[in-house]
Amino acid sequence: MSNLAEQYNNPTSYQQPQTGGTLAQASASREMEEVKGQIFMAKQFPRNVFQAEQRVLDTCRRPALAQVAMYQYPRGGQRVTGPSIRLAEAIAQNWGNLSYGIQELEQREGESVAKAFCWDLETNVRQEKVFTVKHSMKAKGSIKKLEDPRDIYEKVANDGARRLRSCILGVIPGDIIDKAIVQCHETLAGNSQGPLKDRIANALRSYKENHRVTQEMIEAKFGYNADSFTEYDYVELINIFNSLRDGLSKVDDWFNKEDAKKQSSGLGNDFKAQVEPKTEVKPDVPNDIPIEQPELPLE
């Protein structure tokens, strides 16, 4: 049976092949329609700047966000600090009518090409950064090649987070960023979750468990005992911890093990003794060995 007769008897058996250009054109057309829909919704429901600013400040009053709102790392003998990616994302979410994210454009042998972007759909202001991510990471002094797709994805996401933060901060008005930072510092200073002594003790314990930084090392850096730490010292402890956690700095950049010889104030141990349950006191085990009695003098 000829192909024409087969198509006549069974019309569903024949499908016209689609070329790569047709698929690419259909995908581009779909993306264009999605962008038009986003712009249309942004124009129909424009942001109220005053309400958006209030939402941003209300979000910065959350202690959980305020603790991770700033990063900090040393450079050239000075301290560099600024809003973290978590704060940038929170501001973008509450500012509204923004399209932002990270896209992997191409994956080649040993590297990926990605793009971080942020686009204000109302004002048509756009920030975009294209960067290359090597499929390798430094571990224990050696370069490890990444082959697992999940490891590659996490590496691209981690490297793209800094570019995404820069794009978001380039679109959001600078005065809104400054007000958010001030509100985060006020939230930390007025945190009512517990006494300052307990919060500092928790921070000292986190340093020791996560980065093997002892209380003596921290006190040597600040120049005084942890009993004398203030709210500003607590904020600096949190910023350094975030920097170490995000890989922006190393423990050696902040603390010197050789110089940490000062006497500890025992603040962490006192707190640990308060939170740990007391051990049950068991009765003494009876002694089966008879006690030797002194000999009495003979009369």
Count of CB atoms within 10 A of residue 1's CB? 8
Task: Please report whether residue 23 resides in a domain.
Answer: no
Total number of domains constituting the chain: 2
Picking from 185, 205, 233, the residue at the C-terminal end of a domain is 185
Identify whether residues 178 and 204 lie together within a single domain.
Answer: no
Identify whether residues 177 and 208 lie together within a single domain.
Answer: no
Identify whether residues 225 and 154 lie together within a single domain.
Answer: no
Identify whether residues 177 and 206 lie together within a single domain.
Answer: no
Question: Tokens in use for 289?
Answer: 């060995």
Task: Please report whether residue 295 resides in a domain.
Answer: no
Task: Please report whether residue 290 resides in a domain.
Answer: no
pLDDT in tens, the chain (299 residues): 444 444 445 544 444 455 556 777 777 778 788 878 888 888 888 889 998 998 999 899 888 899 899 988 877 777 788 999 999 999 999 998 999 999 999 998 889 999 999 999 999 899 999 999 999 988 777 888 888 999 999 999 999 999 999 999 999 999 999 999 999 988 888 754 556 788 888 899 999 998 889 989 988 888 888 888 887 888 889 999 998 888 888 888 898 877 555 444 555 555 555 544 544 444 444 444 444 444 444 43
Identify whether residues 78 and 201 lie together within a single domain.
Answer: no
Task: Please report whether residue 45 resides in a domain.
Answer: yes
Full residue range of the structural domain in which residue 257 is found: 194-274
Closest CA to 127 of 157, 67, 89, 168: 168
Identify whether residues 236 and 164 lie together within a single domain.
Answer: no
Identify whether residues 255 and 160 lie together within a single domain.
Answer: no
> Tell me, what amino acid is at 187?
T
Cα 66 to Cα 217, 238, 279: the distances in Å are 25, 10, 37
Task: Please report whether residue 144 resides in a domain.
Answer: yes
Task: Please report whether residue 96 resides in a domain.
Answer: yes
pTM over cut 0.85: no
Identify whether residues 36 and 169 lie together within a single domain.
Answer: yes
Identify whether residues 175 and 212 lie together within a single domain.
Answer: no
260: exposed, middle or buried (C-beta count within 10 Å: 0-12, 13-18, 19+)?
Answer: middle
Strands (E), the chain: 70-75, 78-83, 98-108, 111-120, 125-134, 136-139, 142-145
Task: Please report whether residue 202 resides in a domain.
Answer: yes
Identify whether residues 174 and 199 lie together within a single domain.
Answer: no
Residue 238 CA to residue 68 CA, distance in Å, equals 8
Residue 159 CA to residue 72 CA, distance in Å, equals 17
Identify whether residues 134 and 173 lie together within a single domain.
Answer: yes
Chain centre distance of CA 148: 23
Identify whether residues 35 and 181 lie together within a single domain.
Answer: yes
Place of tokens 């203030």: 230
